[in-house]
Structures are given as structure tokens and as C-alpha cells.
A and B are shown apart, each in its own frame.
Chain A
């Protein structure tokens, strides 16, 4: 199939999916920390969270990817000799990719999570505090489970943007399906065919994600009253 390039492209698709999932896991952690910082009464923490969200969201993903992949590599190797490392240090492409995408989408998710936390009635955390829960306990036991329902629509959106943004790592030679398609296109002189195939694969991934996340949204909205028009 596809001049024998079918299986390589599927390998690439696997890398795309695992990169997206791992990055999303990191982004969720960073997003929660970011949101907690931005809602914190401690001024400098709030400012730090605000700066992270504003700066990262104000710069194109591609520039951040190039900055971290090439600039990061560059800076690591300028700093390393000062610390006594002699050899040239190569950053692992997959780990760098995960760090980069996680760092970018953590900023976007912090915005989603912040809005979701603010949608929870204040009485909920007050009730938690009245039961003698610590700040951490209120956060994880009372706020996070309720926040999920409000966050799912924004989360869905961010996940779809992240999946599509992973295509950009092909430009820094991470061998995702876009990278494999480019190789196949160059070798066979059939660029349209191969880019159309990856377009279909991306569409399949985004469509399945949409269905799953809609089902999840329904699951988390169980017991919520919806007014009929």
C-alpha cells in the first residue's frame, strides 16, 4: 500500500499520538499549577502564573518549538563547559518535544482551568474549610472534581489544537507522521497523495477525540439540570 510507505506512516502516526498524549499529561500538571498560581492570594505567585500564561500564549508555537529545540540545545552546550562537562550534549528529541508541547499547552490549559475553578460557587470551598480540610485537601477533594465538568469544553479545544500542533515538530526532525509523509513524498514524487493521507489520519484522530470527549462531558454532567427551551 502507498508504494510500501503505508507502514512507516502508521509508525509516524503512533509517534504523533504518543507525543500528543505525553505532552497533554505534562500540560495538565503545568496547567493546574499555573491556574493555582493565578488564583493564589500571594501576589508574586499570581504574577508568575499570569506572566507564564501571557508570554507563552503571545508567541507562535513554531517559534517556541524552534527556540527550545535549537536555542535550548545551543544554551545547554554553552553553559555545560562552564560546569565542567566536556562532551557535546544532544537533547533527546522526543523528551524535548514533550517538554516543549507540554510547556506551551500548560499555559493554554491554565487559562481553561482558571475559568473552570472560578465557575465553582464560593460556598463549596468555604464548606470544605468549615469541615476542617486543609487548603490542599479543599483543592483536590472539593474543587478539582467539580472543576472538571466546567473545564471539559475548553480542554477538548486545547487537545485538538495540541494534536494539530504536533505536526510542527516534524520541522525539527522528530519523526512523526508528518515527517514520514515528507520523506515518502520526496522519494516517490507524490506529495499530494501522502499529505492527503496524513490529513485523513489527523482528521481521524481529531474525530475520535471529539466523540470520546463528548461522551466524557456527558458522563461528568450527570445529574445536572438542563433547562428545555
Chain B
């Protein structure tokens, strides 16, 4: 037999631990990324040129450079400056988990902001006019009409972004974290079974992707039902 999966089964706990780390990284970066994406998305649809330009530049630079470079700039790059090494933030910035989450959150915030801006622009103007006719203030208009509607409409595209982020978290293995990919690396270095180790990791990611796709389908059925084509 040219393939030998027995060391994989004996060390399956490594992969299970990896799944937990991957999901933790994903949850943290998505939470903070989305929280930052909401103000950024609103800035991207602002009519004030300066406000719009700042958000545009941020998303343009982040979306135009590789995630790996961003991660290295934060994890390895910041240590170049003595001021950073002596600051109060250093315990955090020298921690791989913190840097990975920070880099991932920054990255996803730029992509999510663009998705949100796109969906804010696609809101039918009637909804906004109706809200104004009801006498809503600007803040109330955003809180009650624009954001709920835009966040719902963004769901299909946001599901792609979440899956991209799941895949992006694999970069954490490059900065020494033992996520799913990191577990595969460990197995490979112990048993020299590169193929078995990485194909197992691939299969796990594939399953997680399917689960996420399924969850988003359910979410769309719940929150986007009013936009679904009418059944014949």
C-alpha cells in the first residue's frame, strides 16, 4: 500500500485541536472585521469627498496587497521599531494569535466594507423616501431602515467573504499557530507523510466550507425570504 493513513488516525486529536483554533481565529476576526466594516461602509457611501476618499484608500490598499504581506508587516515588521518594542502594546504585538487576528480582521474589514457599500447603494430609493416622509431623523433612518436592509442584502456576498476568511485563516500556520494546516505540518514533520497529512487537512476545510454554505443558505431563507423569487 503506498498510502498510510494510520498515523493520521492516531493523531486525530491534533486535527481536532486545529479545528478549534481555526474556528476561534475565524470567529474573532469576523466579529471585529464586521464591526469595523459598518462605519467604513457608511464612509464609502458618504457624499463628503474627504470621508469617502479615506475609506476608499483604506479598502484599496488592503484589497490590493496580499494577506501574507499584511500578516508579516504586523507580526515581523512592527518589531523593527524600538518604540513599538518598548510600548505597552508589545505583549500583544509579539503574540502570534493576536497578530493573526488583527491582520485577518483588518483584511476582512476592507472587503466587507466594500460589500456593505455596494448593498447600501442597491437599496431601492423608495425605502429611503418613505422613511423621510415618516419624519425619521438621519440617525434613525440609518438605524431602522438602511443598515438592517443593507446587512440583509449583503448576505449572499458576505457568505463568500466568510468562506474566503475560513481559507485565509490557514495562513496562521505560517506564523507558528497550530490550526488545521498547522496540525498537518506537525504530522508531516513527524512522519514524513506529506500527502496524507495535507489531504486530510484539505478534506476538513472542505467539510467546514460545506457547513458554512449550508448555514448561510438557512440564514438567507430566514432573512432574505422577501427577496426570493415567487414560487410558481
Contact = CB atoms under 8 A, between A and B. Distances in A.
Contacts of B76: 185, 191-192, 195
Nearest to B171: A62
Lowest 3 CB-CB distances: which A-B pairs, in order? A192-B77, A71-B195, A60-B167
Contacts of B94: none
A47 interface: no
Interface string B84-99: 0000000000000000
Which of A57, A59, A72, A198 lies at the interface centre, i.e. has the most chain B CB atoms within 10 A of its CB? A59
Contacts of A164: 65-67
9 contacts: A57-B209, A60-B168, A62-B171, A63-B184, A164-B67, A178-B68, A191-B77, A196-B73, A199-B65
Contact of A58 (B66, B70, B171, B206): B206
Contacts of B78: 192
Contacts of B2: 75, 78-79, 82
Given A63-B198, A70-B194, A192 B66 contact: no
Interface in A137-195: 160, 164-168, 170-171, 178, 182, 185, 189-193, 195
A51 to B, nearest CB: 11
**Interface majority SS on B: helix, strand, loop or mixed?**
helix
Interface string A49-77: 00000010111111110110011111100
Interface residues of B, number: 44
B6 to A, nearest CB: 16
Interface string B46-73: 0000000000000001011111111011
Contact of A70 (B167, B188, B206): B188
Interface stretch (A7-15, A113-121, A200-208): A200-208
Given A79-B2, A171-B174, A63 B205 contact: yes
B195 A74 contact: yes
Contacts, number: 124
A63 B64 contact: no
B80 A192 contact: yes
Contacts of B180: 63
**Interface majority SS on A: helix, strand, loop or mixed?**
helix
Contacts of B168: 60
Given A71-B194, A73-B194, A195 B72 contact: yes
A167 B181 contact: no
Contacts of B181: 60, 62-63, 66
A202 B73 CA distance: 14
Given A71-B195, A198-B69, A207 B64 contact: yes
B167 A66 contact: no
Contacts of A202: 64-66, 69
A192 B69 contact: no
Contacts of A196: 73, 77
B89 to A, nearest CB: 15
A193 B64 contact: no
